[in-house]
Amino acid sequence: MSKELNQLALEKLYKRIDIRLYSQGNTGWVLKNLKRVKENLQYTRELVVEDECIAEEIESAQYGNVGLPVLANHSSYFNAENVDPAVRDEQLEQVLDIIPANALRTFRYA
C-alpha cells in the first residue's frame, strides 16, 4: 500500500511546474531542485512560465478570485529589469532540457 501511495503522490507533486522568470531567485531555485529530482519529471504534464509579475490570486468567499498588489518592499525581487535576459533564457532552456520529451501536455508562457 505504501508504494502505491508514494507513486500517486509523485504523480500529483510533479504534475504542474510554475516558473517565474522575472525572479532570478525563483528560476534558479526551481532549476536546482529539478536537477535533483530528474527521474520524477516524467510525471510533469503542465509547465507554466511567467515572464511578467502578475499579482498572486487568492480565493475570497465574498468575491471569488482576488488579485493582490505587489508589496513595495518586495518590488526589487519582482522587478524583471533586475534579471539578466541571457541568464533567464539559459535557465529556462535548462529546465526544458531536463523535462523528458513528450511528457508535457500543456506549456503556457504568460
pLDDT at residue 88, as a whole number: 80
pLDDT at residue 68, as a whole number: 47
42-70 pLDDT tens trace? 999 999 888 776 555 555 566 555 444 44
What's 16's DSSP letter?
A: E
| C-alpha R_g of the chain | 16
Residue whose C-alpha cell reads 529546465 in the numeric block: 95
pLDDT at residue 23, as a whole number: 73
Nearest to 50 by CA among 84, 17, 11, 94: 17
Q: Global pTM?
A: 0.66
pLDDT at residue 45, as a whole number: 92
